[in-house]
Structure 1
Amino acid sequence: MKSFIQKWNQLSLVKQILIGLIIGIILALTIPNTAKPIVILGTLFVGALKAVAPVLVFFLVMSAIAQHKSGHKTNMKTIIFLYLLGTFLAGLIAVIVSFIFPVSLTLVNGAKGVTAPGGITEVLKALLLNVVDNPVKAIFNANYIGILSWAILLGFALKNAADTTKTMISNVSDAVSKIVTWVIRFAPLGIMGLVFNSITTNGIESLIGYGKLLAVLVGCMLTVALVVNPIIVFVNIRQNPYPLVFKCLKDSGITAFFTRSSAANIPVNMRLCEKLGLDKDTYSVSIPLGATINMAGAAVTISVLTLAAVHTLGIQVDIPTAFILSVLSAIAAAGASGVAGGSLLLIPLAASLFGISNDIAMQVVGVGFIIGVIQDSVETALNSSTDVLFTATAEFKKWRKEGKTINIQKGS
């Protein structure tokens, strides 16, 4: 057993996760009833990540700002620009692909027990209310907009605090980060439970009827991940972008795919930024911020499903309206984290642009929930991996201007 554990620890985390994934699939296909108890492993893993992520973000951001030295430049302006650009282009790609490959839907009953926001003003209002949320309540409910706002305010308020106070905050931040590394060690077992539960609960039968819709959705997201994002990275760092793109997809996208939560993947992204040698003052803010506003996958989902409803109803769409949809989907996607149900519940908002009634739009949401096992997984993988990709791109752009060598495998 000791020899086995030593060999297991010598494997990279990605290889361990792939082994857990394969075992989960085999158990789900061969002995689903006997192996059912392993579902708890996935629940515990995601629960642990979701529990530690809000506390980690709060202390990391507060500590980074409190200890930030005057004159030390961060890349936040560049990163925010890349976040917004990437989300808009994702929505635009989804609109273009939806026109080339129009999809018609067999509408189903709307999602029960959920309410879509009434308009963009309601989404923005919810975001603003989240900013001024009670800090304890924000951490308890994993309201990352509220957590970020309080962490930033406290960080600035503590800039002139005694060094001993700053050291204490830094020590707490390091301690929480250590707990995160312990949790991530259990990722192979957690993902084994998650993939087992996904296969035994949803199967593939319910997805076959929506194969074309899934192909368009996944195709758009892959286009963004493997074509659009690499172009953005190349323009900024002026070298082959794919080593960085694939590293982010491998080390961040895989875990995000199975946890289906950008928030739960924040600790994973923090660890990847550290491995890449990025500036902690920057990524401790940009990664949790990206989990709330960098939503390329959500923009794709909103655009594709909205235009699927449009094609189903035979509504003619002109180019200016399609462009407006791209902008609206990007704005709505940035607000997805502030709305219960995420990107799917923002479809009625986009559908209203074409005069589609809320009743029909909610039937489209129902379709979204059916294909959610794949749609949400791929969407989260794209969203979360892009947080690290754009944070690293901004940092490497700065290194290039300073004449530093960019080594993607080992950071600087």
Structure 2
Amino acid sequence: MFAKYKKVSLILRILIGLLVGAALAVVVPSWSVIGILGTLFVGALKGIAPVMVFFLIMSAISAYQQGAKNHFGSVIVMYLGATLLSAFAAVVASFLFKVHLVLPKSVHVAAAAPKSLTKVISDLLTNAVGNPLAAIVNANYLSILFWALMIGFALRLTSPATRKVITEISGAITSVAQLVIEFAPFGITGLIYTTISETGFAGIAHYGQLVLLLVGTMAFVYLVVYPLMVWAMTHQNPYPLTFWTLKVSGIPAFFTRSSAVNIPINLQACRDLGLNEESYSVSIPLGGSANSGGAAITVTVMTLAAAYTMGIHVSFILAFILCFLTALAATGASGIAGGSLLIIPMAASLFGISNDIAMQVVGIGFIIGVIQDSVETAVNSASDLLFTATAEYRDARRSGHPVDIAAAVRAATGKPAKVAKAASQTIEVSD
């Protein structure tokens, strides 16, 4: 039965959960026992999220191997730069269009966040160096991030077998998180029931504003910010490649809602463009975690929405720090559907927002995930392909053998073998 259940699209299951929860809230608003489904779902997420984030970041840092002939430097610069710029764009959008959330069991104004730069940095450093085991137990995400990075770098000095074990453990924990998310429709039934029965449909209207802000910011980043990056790297019209990557990678990713599932599609697209296999065989899988512009937007917007809801004053200093924290944390976002939502508590901790409140925000993220997560995954996956190609074209230009991007895209659409030969000749000279 579970196998048959999984065969149904997660999007369809979540839509059914939304409809069932809303209908029950209208028909039997006094059956509070239904809300237990949401409580159990959020509780499971609270339990697995700290462990998953710790192992994901530690595994990603330890797994990188040096020495391969590729365009790794350019790719990493674009991945990290895009994630950081996405976070900045999300902060600006959130400042211009402030969205307040309606949380179940509405929470009153929290203590104001510290405004002093010295106080902020002191709190960050103090929280970061806490006991790593206690950090996982207490969901201290700043400490989890710090120790995952430290241990990850140390593991690079160990044997390949040891690093493989860490990677396999990370994969196993991710599988557990995926299993929890498979039951998201039941949890969403409980969450939407609680929201409507306690706040009415006004709370759902606020969710619509949040979706518009998220999707609008992601569209601006992919259609304006990323093309500017491509132009700066290649000095050519970026839009043929931008729109092509959206078509061949973004559309499938929108429906699968998984960057990991979309990796084979991106690898085939790289072959069609005739890119260097030594480069894209590393950069495409790596992009599943290192390139997380869409995740950075989601985490930033929803964290700031939570801060506004709690009545917390967001200073420029805190917003600036949030951009860097979100960009760094987003690189640890899982390639599974809804994975980026699990790092919201890390960003929320910067404003003193409790883990309980942050997980309520995560629950809202799953409610709007039918649209938000689909667009986020499309942005992340399509930009993996976009930046992988851009990095190679940039290095070819600097070597004195530029590639005509528009012609390469046209050839990839109709004659992939021809462009593969031409591109391989260019790269051979470049190397």
**TM-score between the two structures when normalised by the length of structure 1:** 0.64
Distance 1:272 1:339, change over 3 A: closer
Match of 2:271 in 1: 274
Distance 1:109 1:140 in 2: 37
Match of 1:292 in 2: 289
Q: CA deviation at 1:223?
A: 0.9
Distance 1:38 1:342, change over 3 A: closer
Q: CA deviation at 1:364?
A: 1.1
Match of 1:122 in 2: 144
- Asked if residue 405 in structure 1 is aligned to residue 403 in structure 2, the reply is yes
CA contact (8 A) 1:88 1:327 kept: yes
Q: CA deviation at 1:115?
A: 8.6
Residues 2-401 of structure 1 mapped to structure 2, 5 A cutoff:
40=7, 73-108=69-104, 117-126=139-148, 135=164, 138=167, 142=171, 209-337=206-334, 342-401=339-398
Distance 1:235 1:374 in 2: 31
CA contact (8 A) 1:126 1:338 kept: no
What amino acid sits opposite 2:410 in the alignment? Answer: Q
Distance 1:339 1:372, change over 3 A: closer
Distance 2:138 2:234 in 1: 40
CA contact (8 A) 2:299 2:347 kept: yes
Match of 2:110 in 1: none
Q: 1:300-351 CA distances to partner (integer Å, 9 max, x unpaired)? A: 0110001101111222112121111111110110122299962212112111
Distance 1:207 1:382, change over 3 A: farther
Distance 2:364 2:141 in 1: 21
Q: Identity over the aligned pairs, expressed in percent?
A: 48
Q: 1:76-123 CA distances to partner (integer Å, 9 max, x unpaired)? A: 10110110000000000000000000000001379xxx9994222313
Gaps of 5+ in 2: 11-62, 107-135, 156-161, 175-183, 193-200, 412-418, 424-431
Distance 1:390 1:144 in 2: 29
Distance 1:94 1:218, change over 3 A: same
**TM-score between the two structures when normalised by the length of structure 2:** 0.61
Distance 1:129 1:370, change over 3 A: farther
Q: CA deviation at 1:74?
A: 2.2
What amino acid sits opposite 1:365 in the alignment? Answer: V
Distance 1:256 1:115, change over 3 A: farther
What amino acid sits opposite 1:103 in the alignment? Answer: V
Distance 2:272 2:105 in 1: 46
What amino acid sits opposite 1:101 in the alignment? Answer: F
Q: CA deviation at 1:137?
A: 7.3
CA contact (8 A) 2:260 2:335 kept: no
Distance 1:144 1:288, change over 3 A: farther
Distance 2:258 2:401 in 1: 37
